[in-house]
Amino acid sequence: MKPNILFRNLVKIPIHRATKAGIFEAEDSLAAEEPLEIVIAFGALHQRRKQSISVTMRTPTGHDFELALGFLLTEGIINGYEDVISVRYTANLLDETAQLNVVQVDLQPFITFDVDKLKRHFYTSSSCGVCGKASIDMIETTSCFWLAEGLPLVKSAILFELPEKLRQAQSVFDSTGAIHAAALFNTSGTLIALREDVGRHNALDKLIGWAMQHEMLPLQHSILLVSGRSSFELVQKALMAGIPILAAVGAPSSLAVQLAHENNMTVIGFLKNYRFNIYSSFERIANT
């Protein structure tokens, strides 16, 4: 598969900055935001069909293929990388300076799904993702990885260190202050991978897509840390990738905690300043 073309993730603009000394001309950096359309090609090889299934606002960091793959996995359309023939941009690849905003994923001919459900499309924005009821139905009807009760066991001291490690690794956030991150750690607290985006759900889809490409699913011995709050959708996506522990700097929503309880996932909130709350499956966290 052709690798992603590296996009700009920052946009510098002229501004005016006000201080006690007055108003001055200056320059500021903003997180780049561009639409990405995800298209799938499916069916028998001699009779392929195409369907646009998502238009999402994302940060064009060069991880679009990971984003598309992660989205398809977490929405239950594919079960793994083996279900994919190819991932490519549908724009002119000869012009690498062009902003390529359409990714096509070609599925294996044996992949089947309810086409009528796809026709409703998954239009998303950078602030919220797939509507809750549809996603709850997806979790209930799509098989996902089973989480072992009480495993893995993680020391609380390891968790205390994660926010600073995340902060140090967030290169785009340092420049803009306006971007979300999703980071994967092992149970020893070592950073495995990190992805950033203006949409928290996009950042996680990128991370899961990366893990899929590296044949790491299910992520049953890992910790997911997100830079904002834990929403229902983030729990759903983490469950689809087999992640047992989801930690967040902010608070979880009630629906996120409910879904985590039902699926034996550990949800941690307010992980900062050497403290955190455990909202579900506390037995995975060791008091050391």
**Would you please indicate which residues are annotated as catalytic (active-site) residues?**
128
CA distances from 82 to 34, 48, 109, 217 (A): 29, 18, 12, 12
Phi/psi of residue 244, nearest 5 degrees: -85, -25
Q: Which two tokens stand for residue 277?
A: 């709350």
The rounded distance, in Å, linking the Cα atoms of 180 and 199 is: 6
Among 232, 246, 56, CA closest to 137: 232
The rounded distance, in Å, linking the Cα atoms of 264 and 244 is: 8
Among 244, 240, 207, CA closest to 222: 244
Half-sphere exposure of 210 toward its Cβ, with a 13 Å CA cutoff? 18
The rounded distance, in Å, linking the Cα atoms of 69 and 66 is: 5
Q: Which two tokens stand for residue 259?
A: 């879904």
Q: Is there a contact between 186 and 175 (Cβ–Cβ < 8 Å)?
A: no
